[in-house]
Amino acid sequence: MKRKSSHTAPDKTIGRPVGSKREDTIARILDSALACFTSHGYASTKFKDIAVGANITSAAIYQYFDSKPALYIAVVDHIYQDIYPRFQQAIESSTRLKERIRNLVEAMVSLHEQSPLKSGFLSSIPLETQRHETLKEIFSHRENEMRALQARIFEDAIKNGEINPEWKVDNLVMMFFGSMSGMANYQLSVEGTSLRQAADIYLSMMELHLLR
């Protein structure tokens, strides 16, 4: 008489669903994490909330991301993979600051219209890194290609004599990208507002007072 095995069949609900690929599961986790981080903030986001949106268990997330900071950074990188080529194309399409700024604004507004969650998440990064030492430490040791790309347009403009050479590049980056992020956040929270129209007004003001 054969002895009955003491092992039980594995729970099929744990981990990725049957038939799905690893990449599909990671994509669902990242999409759910993006929604949770944007809606609830870094501190209030729990793996169990992300798991619900990704249709997996909380424990299964650890098969792909060993901590919440690692998952947060993965979301950042995932978004950058999408927007970096857009920004790069906007900058390389011209050598003049005026056209570059207009192209960048169009890229940022289009991103916001296509994916408000991504826009909202990106604008929250500076605040989250100041609130949480773990994130601040991680970002301080990362090479930031996006930041270098942002700085490049103003570095080139100063060399070409298009803007005041006494203005620091870091402050120019803060002025431009900080303003766009702030407007995007405001539009998300106030009904009836239009980021596209606000951006047009902003561009008109810049061309009057900033660009030579």
What is the average pLDDT across 104-110? Answer: 93
Q: What is the mean pLDDT of residues 185-210?
A: 89
HEC-encoded secondary structure of 131-191: HCHHHHHHHHCCCCHHHHHHHHHHHHHHHCCCCCCCCCHHHHHHHHHHHHHHHHHHHHHCC
Enumerate the domain spans of the chain: 12-66, 75-209
Residue 139: pLDDT band (50, 70, 90) is: confident
pTM of the full predicted structure? Answer: 0.81
Degrees (nearest 5) of the Cα angle 155, 157, 163? 115
Percent of the chain whose pLDDT exceeds 70: 89
Residue 144: the pLDDT is 79
Instruction: Tell me the fold of 12-66.
Output: Arc Repressor Mutant, subunit A (1.10.10)
Between CA 126 and CA 141 the distance in angstroms is: 15
Within 13 A of 139's CA, how many CA atoms are on the CB side?
19
pLDDT at 194 over 60: yes
Owner of token pair 């005041």? 164
pLDDT surpasses 60 at 3: no
Does an H or E element contain 98, and which? helix 97-114
> Which two three-digit tokens encode residue 180?
């766009």
Same fold, 12-66 and 75-209: no
Q: Rounded mean pLDDT of 7-34?
A: 68
How many CB atoms lie under 10 A from the CB of residue 198?
A: 18
- Which residue type is seen at 180? M
Per CATH, the homologous superfamily of domain 75-209 is Tetracycline Repressor, domain 2 (1.10.357.10)
